[in-house]
Chain A
Amino acid sequence: MKEKLQIIWQMFLLLLLGFVSVAGIAFPVVAKPLSWYEFPLIPGLGENVKIIFFHVPTAWLTVVAFLVSTIYSVKYLREKNPDDDAKAYAAMQIGVIFCILATVTGAVWSKFAWGQYWSWDPRQTSIFALLLIYGALFALRSSIESEDKRAALSAVYSVIAFLTVPFFIFIMPRIMKGLHPGSADDTNKGPILDFKMNSNMLLIFFLSLAGFTLLFYWMWRISYKSIILKDKINKQIN
């Protein structure tokens, strides 16, 4: 019964992500959308707007993975349960994949939208800082032999690193000029912030967000279970 349920929701996820990918890429952008499958034309973005269905979920999952990792780090520090460390580590591993994806898709998009791959926009700075934090966490973990020490120190570091995130969200956009859609001084701030995307675009955007989040959850579960199992087998052998 449990396996059947699992297959059903895996099929559901496949269909959801398949629909989102096809719809996000293939639906046309027109000036005055009439049919349900047409996206509105947003001035300054044009066809480039379609990246929202793939880039925004990856960036969102980068932050979600970091949040999950921090929550389980705090839980580890309170209860000292090695499984929580495995969960935090698994979230980190998947988070760094999405972080790289968000950085690369964003850079490629910015080549077409802004003319260059990298321009130290506040969002680019923050995703770069997140990449550095993930990198630092892996560097820290690989340099400690003892399991308890490794779990405790990486938990402490991820909590401290998480505390810098508000500065990137609230302070950086004020200090640096923003090009990213949705920035404070951005001319095409309207469409993204005010959700002037029409209803079908919003629907596909949120479906994509939900689909990717489910995918993350699935990957994370497999990942931490495999880490816990690996530890168990290692202990049995030794």
Chain B
Amino acid sequence: MKAYSLFNKDLASEIRTRYAVNSLAMFILVTISVILFSVGSEKVSENLTGGLFWAVIFFTSMSGLSRAFVSEEERGTALTLQLIASPTTVFSGKLLFNLILVFAMNIVVAALYSTLFDAFIIKNFALFIALFILGNIGIAVSSTIIAAIISKAGSKGTLYPVLSFPILLPLILILIDLTKMAMGGLEAYSAYVELAALVCYNVIMITASYMLFDFIWKD
């Protein structure tokens, strides 16, 4: 319940300032248009669009998801939070907020991307939905825990992608592979191992995050 009220607080402040949503929306536009400009009138292969899709999502996540913890440190409200809520509650609230943000952001990216790139056609839609949901959860969990780490460090902006990339690399490689499978119209059962690996990644990261968050959060 407490985690939910923390989420409500973040949501209310987000609706008031629209900081994360605005910058994320602009970042999605900028990234996709940079790709469109660099592609030009060249014909893009299907495999390439599948990979670029996750490149857009990775860089967009890196631009906005660190807000959850960095904003608390910048406003100086981290200490108050430490007093009123247990670390687990804080992490749950922030994770919930980032999950909603990642899902909203990636649905927009997917919609924009599929209208702008003709080669981005998903043949096996059920598999794509499965990998999309599992991938979004993975991205949200990993980027939330890394956001907590960098909020305590100096030079927050540049450090975030540097620290996140190695952690997200296995996830993104699996997602790119699965996206190619979904675009090729492969049956879901042949992607069983990759989907299981995604579930493993999510479970491992959620468990590790909850176990380790205490050490980051306590001063």
User: If A144-B153, A175-B174 touch, does A164 touch B169 (CB 8 Å cutoff)?
Assistant: yes
Q: Please give the distance in Å from B209's CB to the nearest CB on chain A.
A: 8
Tally chain B residues at the interface, Cβ within 8 Å: 31
Q: Please give the distance in Å from B214's CB to the nearest CB on chain A.
A: 9
User: If A143-B159, A160-B212 touch, does A167 touch B154 (CB 8 Å cutoff)?
Assistant: no
C-alpha gap A205/B27 in the complex (Å): 52
Q: Contact: B149 with A153, CB < 8 Å?
A: yes
Chain A: interface residue count, which band?
20 to 34
Q: Contact: B215 with A171, CB < 8 Å?
A: no
Question: A interface, by DSSP: helix, strand, loop or mixed?
Answer: helix
Q: Please give the distance in Å from A199's CB to the nearest CB on chain B.
A: 37
Q: Contact: B145 with A164, CB < 8 Å?
A: no
Q: Please give the distance in Å from A192's CB to the nearest CB on chain B.
A: 24
Residues of B within 8 A of A174 (CB): 193-194
Known: A143-B154, A149-B219, A175-B174. 17 other contacts (CB 8 A): A129-B170, A140-B149, A140-B153, A144-B152, A144-B153, A145-B154, A152-B215, A152-B216, A153-B149, A156-B149, A157-B149, A164-B170, A167-B170, A167-B174, A172-B170, A175-B177, A176-B173
Q: Which of A157-210 contact B (CB under 8 A)?
A: 157, 159-161, 163-164, 167-168, 171-172, 174-176
Check: A132 CB closer than 8 A to any chain B CB: yes
Residues of A within 8 A of B165 (CB): 132, 136
Residues of B within 8 A of A160 (CB): 145-146, 167, 205, 208-209, 212
Q: Contact: A132 with B197, CB < 8 Å?
A: no
Query: Could you give 15 example pairs across A and B, Cβ below 8 Å?
Result: A129-B169, A129-B170, A133-B166, A140-B150, A143-B159, A156-B212, A156-B216, A159-B212, A160-B167, A164-B170, A171-B174, A171-B194, A174-B193, A175-B173, A175-B177
Residues of A within 8 A of B177 (CB): 175
Question: B interface, by DSSP: helix, strand, loop or mixed?
Answer: helix
